[in-house]
Amino acid sequence: MLDINWIKANPEAFDRALSGRKSVPFRSAELIALDDQRRMVIASVEEAQAKRNTLSKQIGQAKAQKDEAKAQALLEEVAHLKDVVQNGEAARKDAEDKLRNALSIIPNLPLEDVPVGDDESDNVEYFGPNGSPETAAKSRPAKPTFSFAPREHFETGEALGMMDFEVAAKLSGSRFVVLKSQLARLERAIGQFMLDLHVDEHGYTEVLPPLLVRDDALYGTNQLPKFEEDLFFVPHGDGRLALIPTAEVPLTNMVRESILSAEQLPMRLTALTPCFRSEAGSAGRDTRGMLRQHQFNKVEMVAITAPEKSGDEHEKMVSDAEDVLKRLGIHYRVMTLSTGDMGFGAQKTYDLEAWLPGQDTYREISSVSVCGDFQARRMDARFRDTDGKVRHVHTLNGSGVAVGRALIAVMENYQQEDGSVAIPDVLQPYMKGLKTIGARS
RNA sequence: GGAGAGGUGGCAGAGUGGUCGAAUGCACCGCACUCGAAAUGCGGCGUGGGGGCAACUCCACCGGGGGUUCGAAUCCCUCCCUCUCCGCCA
């Protein structure tokens, strides 16, 4: 959620910043009009309240002095104000709701250095701070070469008898998968490896959060009110709870409605959780294999920082995610998303795209975003800075990385001609030393 | 699931219809005393919003929402949460 006062002070900057965004429902002038209306209503209702308070106080004093006649006279004078105040309060709530509802569907403002564009074709490859194609190539795993035609992950998985979409469909329908045997273990190994890496070496605190959350939490991280159709809900009492679409929701909302001390920042959190997405609107996209599922595992990183630190933290978080792919030995590239391809709440986003030789293309395996105070304002998450001033925190989130997609990447990059899959060195300790899946031993 | 108790400022804890935004204690921040510190004394010490250049002033907030009333922390309804006991359960 953006700050109406800022919009008011910078209407041209607001309109210009959002010109590259898709589907911006309001321009600054409309929002300012809603705010003016709100202030007008507030001024009039508060005037009535002040008058009522004064007279009521006098009634109290009159009664204390046993001056019933005076009290009665005052009572008659104030009687009509009751309706005025009640109507005014209703009007005030209405005006405030209108403004908040409008603001809550305005996307975040892209940072200055975000490339302006319509969609993913305008994304720009990123080589790191002060980086170049040469330095990136040197520090990242090289693209693998094959002496045979590389297969897609589901071909390998099904041939091994360890990846079963048909059984999953019997249980749950399309967009689910059953993994078995060593492939199930490999998925588990990848998750453990990544979580350990972030906790032991990157400074994150491990969290095991609830997988079901309230609407309030979803509102805080922007899933509501605009993206309700992407979520799964379960009935609960008279209401409902949502299955988390990403651990970003519980992790980020841990600081909601609180005032942190400066020493608590930066707060770095990580979790390995299942994620649930209805993938409404994705019908027909990536229907083969386990690239796009209703349920998948993901290691999520979240950081809560002071406003001055969020830019640096963003770079750190990307490099933390990159470290996963480097250690797994998976070739990848980093893209800075263009204004047209960025998510609703992001100021700036880097995507990590892993090389999938079976598909002969790069696919998103991680997305790392800095949100500024956009979510903090929705959650009312603040901190007391060193001057004692209370300000909104900045929030960041990134996948570090998607486990299911990392499994795909390993299967495609480490596949061998005989249909077996070599296990990256760093995962072998998590596989009881196993070096290859599907090999005759 | 059943029965009961309770949610008040950073914490503890008063307050059951009328100068209560809220006593008191602790914590914290200034100042005084001190060579310094402790102790002591004095003062300050919540959040959000409206108006104002400002000094300042007004409104709202005692778990959330709604209601009764001229007036609600206080009464009523409802939801959420915490605790105790019983039952059930991985």
Residues 6+ apart with CB under 8 A from A84: A48
CA of A384 to C1' of B38 (A): 30
The band of A125, judged by pLDDT with boundaries at 50, 70 and 90, is very high
- pLDDT value of position A2: 92
CA of A269 to C1' of B10 (A): 25
CA of A87 to C1' of B18 (A): 24
SS3 readout for A64-94? HCCCHHHHHHHHHHHHCHHHHHHHHHHHHHH
- pLDDT value of position A259: 81
Distance from CA of residue A41 to its chain's centroid? 35
Enumerate the nucleotides of strand B whose atoms come under 7 Å of any protein CB.
18-19, 47-51, 58-60, 66, 68, 70-71, 79-80
Q: Is the peptide bond before A429 cis (omega within 30 degrees of 0)?
A: no
Which chain A residues 57-96 have CB under 7 A to strand B? Answer: 57, 59-61, 63-64, 75, 78-79, 81-82, 85-86, 93
CA of A375 to C1' of B81 (A): 24
Backbone angles phi, psi at A401, to 5 degrees: -125, -170
Is the Cβ atom of A390 within 7 Å of strand B at any atom?
Answer: yes
- pLDDT value of position A384: 79
Mind giving me the DSSP string for A398-441?
EEEEEHHHHHHHHHHHSB-TTS-EEPPGGGGGGGTT--EES---
- pLDDT value of position A281: 83
The better pLDDT of the pair A64, A170 is held by A170
Instruction: Quick: pLDDT tens for A197-216.
Output: 999 999 999 999 999 998 88
Q: With 60 as the cut, is the pLDDT of residue A312 above it? A: yes
**Which residues are bridge partners to A350 per DSSP?**
A336, A368
Catalogue the long-range contacts made by A259-262 (C-beta closer than 8 Å, 24 or more residues apart): A259/A382, A259/A383, A259/A384, A259/A390, A260/A304, A260/A381, A260/A382, A260/A383, A260/A384, A260/A393, A261/A383, A261/A384, A262/A306, A262/A383, A262/A384, A262/A385, A262/A386
Measured on CA atoms in the order A183, A189, A194, A195, is the torsion positive or negative? positive
What is the share, in percent, of chain A residues with pLDDT greater than 70? 100
CA of A262 to C1' of B37 (A): 28
- pLDDT value of position A41: 92
Q: With 70 as the cut, is the pLDDT of residue A441 above it? A: no
Is the Cβ atom of A240 within 7 Å of strand B at any atom?
Answer: no
State chain A's mean pLDDT as an integer.
93
Region A412-432: mean pLDDT is 97
Q: Which of A426, A224, A414 is nearest to A330 (CA)?
A: A414
Q: Is A123 helix (H, G, I), strand (E, B) or coil?
A: coil
CA of A202 to C1' of B34 (A): 49
- pLDDT value of position A258: 83
User: What is the rounded distance in angstroms from the CA atom of residue A216 to the CA atom of residue A194?
Assistant: 29
Q: Is the pTM of this model over 0.80?
A: yes
Region A44-67: mean pLDDT is 88
Q: Is the peptide bond before A401 cis (omega within 30 degrees of 0)?
A: yes
The band of A236, judged by pLDDT with boundaries at 50, 70 and 90, is confident
CB distance A37 to A95 below 8 Å: yes
Region A323-351: mean pLDDT is 97
- What is the token pair recorded at A398? 């990134």
Q: With 80 as the cut, is the pLDDT of residue A440 above it? A: no
CB distance A127 to A387 below 8 Å: no
The band of A239, judged by pLDDT with boundaries at 50, 70 and 90, is confident
Is the Cβ atom of A428 within 7 Å of strand B at any atom?
Answer: no
Is the Cβ atom of A41 within 7 Å of strand B at any atom?
Answer: no
- pLDDT value of position A412: 97
Burial class (CB in 10 A: 0-12, 13-18, 19+), A242: buried
The band of A187, judged by pLDDT with boundaries at 50, 70 and 90, is very high
- pLDDT value of position A262: 81
Region A315-321: mean pLDDT is 98
- pLDDT value of position A390: 81
Q: Is the peptide bond before A115 cis (omega within 30 degrees of 0)?
A: no
CB distance A54 to A77 below 8 Å: no
Is the Cβ atom of A34 within 7 Å of strand B at any atom?
Answer: no
User: What is the rounded distance in angstroms from the CA atom of residue A367 to the CA atom of residue A355?
Assistant: 15
Is the Cβ atom of A142 within 7 Å of strand B at any atom?
Answer: no
By C1' distance from the Cα of A43, the closest nucleotide is: B50
Q: Is A337 helix (H, G, I), strand (E, B) or coil?
A: coil
The band of A110, judged by pLDDT with boundaries at 50, 70 and 90, is very high
CA of A94 to C1' of B66 (A): 16
CA of A237 to C1' of B1 (A): 13
